[in-house]
């Protein structure tokens, strides 16, 4: 999950409350000069204060440290510094451009982008629940009115690489004036209504995750049953019936990977059955 908003909107407190609802031991990677510790009365957590350079490698080390220490939930407050903080990706690329590539920023990005991608992958591949916070800033566009150029404010933009929101299961924008969180992306469908975040939201997330895990286990079991039926088919008619049953099921749960596995199993079994079938000469 990512909570985005300007300074003072309540991102840190919201993240800690949701983390508390998720349950388990909470670790915080704090890049905001100890601001998370101001909320020690609202949640129980341990803090690693990350200091410059805010390189992707530095973040990755902190994520792995939380994993190795046995925490359950990790709050990264914030991921903005990885991008535009001291020693972050933008500074890394600028330094490479000037020192190694003689001003060629395109070549510098060939090294900068994999570093940023490694940080994203460290979050996505972690076995921890991760709640990240991210600063936003005012966004403007150039226009024209009455023949004159204008600059108009059109909302806010994240202080991170474009497209960062695609990496998260849910992204909530938090307003500065009311601390209300509004979902801009939500695969959980738990945040349809704007609200102030609380411990109960973490509890709902935990229940949603547990139910999703149950569905995964159930689907894996059903896939195994359909694959076994295909393997047990003694002739092409039985194979056709077993595959049709499995195909109908995979489409009902919208699992393309399961369908691919069923097709592969069907083709292999069909080849075995056709090879074993007696030819006309054998029958004679």
Residue 284: pLDDT band by 50, 70, 90 thresholds? very low
Gyration radius (Cα) of the chain, Å: 26
pLDDT of 143 > 80? The answer is: no
Residue 204: pLDDT band by 50, 70, 90 thresholds? very high
Gap between the Cα atoms of 120 and 168, Å rounded: 10
Q: In the chain, what are the domain boundaries?
A: 2-142+149-197, 211-277
Q: How far is CA 245 from CA 38, 112, 209, 251, in A?
A: 58, 49, 29, 10
Gap between the Cα atoms of 227 and 258, Å rounded: 10
Pair of tokens at residue 217: 């286990």
Query: What CATH fold (topology level) applies to the domain 2-142+149-197?
Result: Rossmann fold (3.40.50)
Q: Which of 64-68, 213-217, 247-251, 271-275 has the lowest mean pLDDT?
A: 213-217
Residue 146: pLDDT band by 50, 70, 90 thresholds? confident
Gap between the Cα atoms of 21 and 203, Å rounded: 4
Q: What is the pTM of this model?
A: 0.73
């Amino acid at each position: 999950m990512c909570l985005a908003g300007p300074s003072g909107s309540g991102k840190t407190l919201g993240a800690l409350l949701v983390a508390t609802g998720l349950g388990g031991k909470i670790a915080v990677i704090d890049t905001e000069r100890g601001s998370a510790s101001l909320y020690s009365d609202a949640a129980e957590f341990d803090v690693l204060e990350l200091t410059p350079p805010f390189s992707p490698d530095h973040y990755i080390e902190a994520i792995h440290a939380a994993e190795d220490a046995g925490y359950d939930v990790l709050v990264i407050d914030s991921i903005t510094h990885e991008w535009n903080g001291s020693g972050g990706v933008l500074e890394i690329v600028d330094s490479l451009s000037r020192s190694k590539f003689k001003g060629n920023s395109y070549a510098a990005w060939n090294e900068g982008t994999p570093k940023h991608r490694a940080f994203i992958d460290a979050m996505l591949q972690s076995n921890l629940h991760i709640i990240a916070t991210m600063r936003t800033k005012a966004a403007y566009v150039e226009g024209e009115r009455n023949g004159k150029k204008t600059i108009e404010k059109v909302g806010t933009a994240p202080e991170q690489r474009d497209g960062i929101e695609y990496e998260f299961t849910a992204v909530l924008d938090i307003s500065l004036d009311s601390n209300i969180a509004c979902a801009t992306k939500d695969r959980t469908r738990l945040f349809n209504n704007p609200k102030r975040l609380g411990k109960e939201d973490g509890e709902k997330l935990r229940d949603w995750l547990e139910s999703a895990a149950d569905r995964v286990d159930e689907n894996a079991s059903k896939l195994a049953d359909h694959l076994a039926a295909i393997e047990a088919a003694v002739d092409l008619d039985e194979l056709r019936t077993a595959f049709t049953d499995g195909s109908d099921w995979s489409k009902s749960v919208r699992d393309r990977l399961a369908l691919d596995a069923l097709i592969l199993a069907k083709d292999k079994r069909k080849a075995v059955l056709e090879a074993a079938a007696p030819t006309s000469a054998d029958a004679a």
